[in-house]
Structure 1
Amino acid sequence: MKYDIIVIGGGHAGIEAALASARMGMKTLLVTILAEQIGAVSCNPAIGGLAKGHLVKEIDALGGEMGICTDKTGIQFRILNASKGPAVRGSRAQIDMDRYKMFMRTVVLNTPNLEVVQEMVEEILTKEGKVTGILTNLNNVYHAKKVIVTTGTFLRGLIHIGEIRQEAGRVGEFSSKKLSESLKSFGLNTGRLKTGTCARIDAKSIDFSKMEIQPGDENPIPFSFRTDRKSFSPKQLPCYITYTNERTHEIIESNFSRAPLFTGQIEGVGPRYCPSIEDKIYRFKDKERHHIFVEPQTLEATEYYINGMSTSLPPDVQREMIRSVRGLENAEIVRYGYAIEYDFVDPTELKHTLETKKVEGLYCAGQINGTTGYEEAAAQGLMAGINAVLAIKEEEPLILRRDEAYIGVLIDDLVIKGTKEPYRMFTSRAEFRLLLREDNADLRLMRYGYKLGLIDDDTYSRMLKKREEIEKGLAYLENNFLTPTKETLTFLESIDEQKITDKTSLKNIASRSSFNIEKLERLAPSIIDFSEEAKEQILIEAKYHQYIQKQKSQINRMKELMSVNIPVDLDIESISGLSNEVKEKLIKYKPPTLFAASEISGITPAAIEILHIYIKMKEKEGD
């Protein structure tokens, strides 16, 4: 049985990788342990959030599926940090976790060029350092030109609930053991990480009247640029907020001796920015309480996810600590929380295409690369799928720069810096976040998706029209001025704006923090018929013009460094002036450009300058 590309794993990374591959014309096989779990939402029933929402919008702009599925199955939509600047806002949606899984599975099973088999992969097959296929637990051999591994938490997965340990990749599902050994046999450096999940509570046992209600946005904005914003009107359910208290903390503290996290039972490193409740109580002893978000898991709202109480404590402790929380006094646990340890591949073993450096044609994407989160996984899966196809077609890979996309930041951080703990995306990781906003992901990236055949003509045409409207609107604001005449001052007063004393461009007036779209339409009537999305972009670009120009200047300087390639055969050891530490890191990580080298922890500007000079000298010698 021969395929162009085989994808191992049917989670968020595997879905995007397989769909991209098949939609780009490759005969694709998706191998998963349980077909009904394709698209399963293992942890919290939500997509997006701060920085994560950026990733989903970028996935969508490139032609991925996550944003569309979220719009179809979302049960609450909110913009986080809505009162702050557009660069740090983040879209988040509660999803119906059952319908999300069903939607994704239906898409996968109905996609041309894509086949699905329910088997467990035990070995990656290679010949002379190149991938040739896979061997499964049913002794089936499938041949392929490229293999993408997206195993999530399944590689030697080990679940912890108190002293109880279960070999599983997710509760009730087999752990994948032999595949981990197969990857190690190639000399890939692997490690052990840990993540966890929270208990789920029977809705009948919750007293919501004691909690703070948290509704969705009154005018929800969809994730996908392909969803009609005007007709988008999902049924929204509220979430609720409650808090831990002194009694909760006492219960947890008195059971530290039974917590696998502290007894040495768990070896893997957990996520710093999403700690378990026992870790929070241990690390933040001075905090009197912690937020608990009570979130519906489905449209029927029969179960609620207790976000903020991830734990691996024993069942009896989980019951006691949950019932100490206001509104959860009579809580009945449907599913207990647990921690899970799993193997991951050191992402510095990968190229920017997500292909391994040691095995040609073998790609890794998702949690296997040390990340945490559905969105980070899906972004990697999409890029791995795209680049595997481009490699087969012998075309240039798609490597997004740090100034182009959060996806570029994510992958660059992983393959250059590596990670010792589960990596989570934050807006602070992006140096040029004012340019990499959620709202302009289509303007930044859709041209790539269209070129790859993942974005249809109609969607692309709408983006081009939006871009044209933005350019016209900004040109109008830049080229038209107001002078402090009586008529002008009266007009400014009528829109509740301060007067001007000199000739002023409309763009400067529109840049005021007090300006909104309604005022913009009165200031520039020519934009009234533009789309709402275009008007929003015009206002943002006007408000942040100076800062955007500053970041663009920084990018131009960065591009100068990026354009200087480090020759593959460069003898790093022979470069005098570099410390042994710098040499070791350059040899280990093999950065392709000076900029990539500059991103490695411990590589100083002085070392980059020495390297730059040495490369220039070698180029002259070659001439």
Structure 2
Amino acid sequence: MSLFTTTYDLIVVGGGHAGSEAAAASANMGAKTLLITMNLQNIAQMSCNPAMGGIAKGQIVREIDALGGYSGIVTDKTAIQFKMLNKSKGPAMWSPRAQSDRMQFAECWRMMLEQTENLDFFQDSVNGLLFEDDRIVGVKTALGIEIKAKAVVITAGTFLNGLIHIGEKTFGGGRAGESSSTGITEDLVKKGFEAGRMKTGTPPRVDGRSLDYSKMEEQPGDEFPVKFSYLPTTKPLTEQRSCYLTYTNQKVHDLLREGFDRSPMFNGRIQSTGPRYCPSVEDKINRFASKERHQIFVEPEGWNTVEIYVNGFSTSLPEDIQDKAIRAIEGFENVKFFRYGYAIEYDYFPPTQLTHSLETKLIKNLFFAGQINGTTGYEEAAAQGLMAGINAALKVQEKEPFILKRNEAYIGVLIDDLITKGTEEPYRMFTSRAEYRTLLRQDNADLRLTPKGFEIGLASKERMERVLEKQRKTDLLISFLENTSVKPEEVNPILAAKELALVSQSLKLFKIATRPQLAFDDLLVISSLKQFIDDNFIDAEIIEQAEIHLKYSGYIDKEKNNADKLNRLENVLIPSSFDYHKLHSLSIEARQKLTKIKPTSISQASRISGVSPSDISVLLVYMGR
């Protein structure tokens, strides 16, 4: 049955972070888009912690924003606290993170999507896919309605055959209080896709009025908070809500161990792999038995709600064990539960079955994004959704795919890791995964990516103009520092205050500014510099760009050179029909892995696990290099 007379350019299945970004991107690029989700009230819901950003994740949100996505704007509009993490380290490690008001976050996302042209909505569950040979042509819903489309993006989150575990209780569901989704996995497996199972979990939510915060350490936001979006849609927070820090103890651990025999993780009922870097509390005390305590972050869910997210206490233990153990944590003695923690198992599809555009190799015009690809985290999902939406729109418009390289964005690292290396556990982004992280800083995401977003028709003219102005003023300030001298009597008082060696002759300002012991703010007492900054309306963002350029130019240039070498290998393309089995000099493992993944370039081939440098040499020789 088909009640829809329109054939859409794109159907997005799922309204989480991936689906919302995919729908917004494709619609803003002119593709007639339909977003289908099981519950329109839960669009972009924060299923787990009420926060965006963090180590490496904050860089991803900045990149999404720079390209023209919505996540940064929504986060800024709904933030209740902002922190820049790792400020004691170099700028490559600085990572923005914001606590959000959970209810406002979902509402803001929906309002922004409803105001997006070319975007329609439909509430139903998709339980079937429509194919014509090796091409997808639409979807079928639980109501039996067939909806046709030129391309489909599946962003099913944890809903594909989702199974929730609390102690010895098990029931179907994609999230607490919501049913799971069936049919999609089965249709894809019939088409030859490989599927697997993964697991994630969430902690209890409790009543903040029942906690004793005097026994905890207050964790306020930054004194001078910034924000995620490069657009002036909101101003930085002037009021913030604090989080709090407390700890587990030996009594908590002993009480938790009492339930291990009823734990689905330890009695074999959960067979799938959970996130290594966000383990459940029972997994932590089991794996790190010698550790006397673990951190518990007490995070408010919003401005006006009393609901609290107990970060660090993710668990699927029986509810009576959860209840006893959490009361042994300082400050939680009289806790009242809103809901218990649980684990959830769900289907995913190993991402080596995708191309760099996130299109599946088996079925044309079918794209996957988010947890279906084996990732974890709102930010990773949103980035994939954005890229899948962009590339699905480009495919329909018969244009070349939009692919970010590893030296261009954390998003490029994320997607390349997934499709080249695959993942057998929920993938999470870290700065350590990016070999060019000095280039991929959170502060320069707009300079790196907004021109690219503008070129494909996603980033607005306003964004592009702001980037050009930022670059112009940064260059202007750097030029002033490189060409303006400062006399000893002007700079020596600054150096003396820092107990640094004094100078005996005039020096260019940039030589003073590059000293690691000096911050740029220390130099603002120099009259010529202060006058220049005032005359040219140089703000803190421009000063930060110039300071990073001056202090880290050697590292930046080295990484650029390394990236150029990598890109030369990216230009050595491998035909998709290449027969690796005819190259007997390749190792057997390399032949098998290369045949399965079908890398598009020598560079990608070199990153495949099991492909050795000697295998790459064989390929280069064969291709005349």
- Tell me how far 1:514 sits from its aligned partner: 2.1
**Residues of 2 paired with 1:607 and 1:196: CA distance?**
40
The 8 Å contact of residues 466 and 531 in structure 1, kept in 2 or not, is answered as no
Matched, 1:460 2:468: no
The 8 Å contact of residues 71 and 227 in structure 1, kept in 2 or not, is answered as no
Q: Tell me the residue number matched to 1:138.
A: 143
- Tell me how far 1:606 sits from its aligned partner: 2.0
Q: Tell me the residue number matched to 1:555.
A: 563
- Tell me how far 1:490 sits from its aligned partner: 5.7
- Tell me how far 1:174 sits from its aligned partner: 1.1
Q: Tell me the residue number matched to 1:508.
A: 511
**Residues of 1 paired with 2:255 and 2:473: CA distance?**
59
Given candidates 574, 579, 585, the residue that maps to 2:587 is: 579
**Alignment: residue pair count:** 615
Matched, 1:398 2:402: yes
Given candidates 18, 24, 27, the residue that maps to 1:22 is: 27
Q: Tell me the residue number matched to 1:148.
A: 153
Q: Which amino acid aligns with 1:536?
A: E
**Residues of 1 paired with 2:126 and 2:497: CA distance?**
69
1:203-282 matches, within 5 Å, as 203-227=208-232, 231-282=235-286
5+ residue gaps, structure 2, are none
1:286-435 matches, within 5 Å, as 286-435=290-439
**Residues of 2 paired with 1:234 and 1:456: CA distance?**
28
Q: Which amino acid aligns with 2:110?
A: R
Q: Tell me the residue number matched to 1:568.
A: 576
Q: Which amino acid aligns with 1:108?
A: L
Q: Tell me the residue number matched to 2:450.
A: 446
**Residues of 1 paired with 2:591 and 2:505: CA distance?**
58
- Tell me how far 1:482 sits from its aligned partner: 5.7
Deviations 1:534-579 (A, max 9, x none): 1100001111111111111111111111111012232211223211
The 8 Å contact of residues 259 and 318 in structure 2, kept in 1 or not, is answered as no
**Residues of 1 paired with 2:15 and 2:490: CA distance?**
64
Matched, 1:608 2:616: yes
TM (normalized to structure 2)? 0.96
Q: Tell me the residue number matched to 1:89.
A: 94
- Tell me how far 1:227 sits from its aligned partner: 3.1
Matched, 1:539 2:547: yes
CA change 1:395–1:520 in 2 (3 A) is farther
Q: Give the secondary structure class of the aligned counterpart of 2:266.
A: helix
**Residues of 1 paired with 2:590 and 2:465: CA distance?**
48
- Tell me how far 1:504 sits from its aligned partner: 5.3
Q: Give the secondary structure class of the aligned counterpart of 1:261.
A: coil
Q: Give the secondary structure class of the aligned counterpart of 1:330.
A: coil
- Tell me how far 1:451 sits from its aligned partner: 2.0
Sequence identity percentage: 49
**Residues of 1 paired with 2:171 and 2:494: CA distance?**
71
Q: Tell me the residue number matched to 1:187.
A: 192
Larger CA deviation: 499-508 vs 81-90: 499-508
- Tell me how far 1:235 sits from its aligned partner: 3.0
Q: Tell me the residue number matched to 1:128.
A: 133
Q: Give the secondary structure class of the aligned counterpart of 2:346.
A: strand
The 8 Å contact of residues 226 and 237 in structure 2, kept in 1 or not, is answered as no
The 8 Å contact of residues 29 and 116 in structure 1, kept in 2 or not, is answered as yes
The 8 Å contact of residues 73 and 233 in structure 2, kept in 1 or not, is answered as no
Q: Which amino acid aligns with 2:565?
A: R
Q: Which amino acid aligns with 1:116?
A: F
Deviations 1:385-410 (A, max 9, x none): 00011111111111000000000000
Q: Which amino acid aligns with 2:18?
A: A
Q: Tell me the residue number matched to 2:602.
A: 594
**Residues of 1 paired with 2:552 and 2:400: CA distance?**
34
**Residues of 2 paired with 1:362 and 1:127: CA distance?**
12
Q: Which amino acid aligns with 1:202?
A: D
TM (normalized to structure 1)? 0.96
Q: Give the secondary structure class of the aligned counterpart of 1:79.
A: strand
Given candidates 39, 47, 51, the residue that maps to 1:34 is: 39
CA change 1:487–1:17 in 2 (3 A) is closer
C-alpha RMSD over aligned residues:
1.7
- Tell me how far 1:494 sits from its aligned partner: 7.0
CA change 1:509–1:181 in 2 (3 A) is same
Q: Which amino acid aligns with 2:186?
A: E
Given candidates 436, 440, 443, the residue that maps to 1:436 is: 440
Q: Tell me the residue number matched to 1:105.
A: 110
Q: Tell me the residue number matched to 2:55.
A: 50
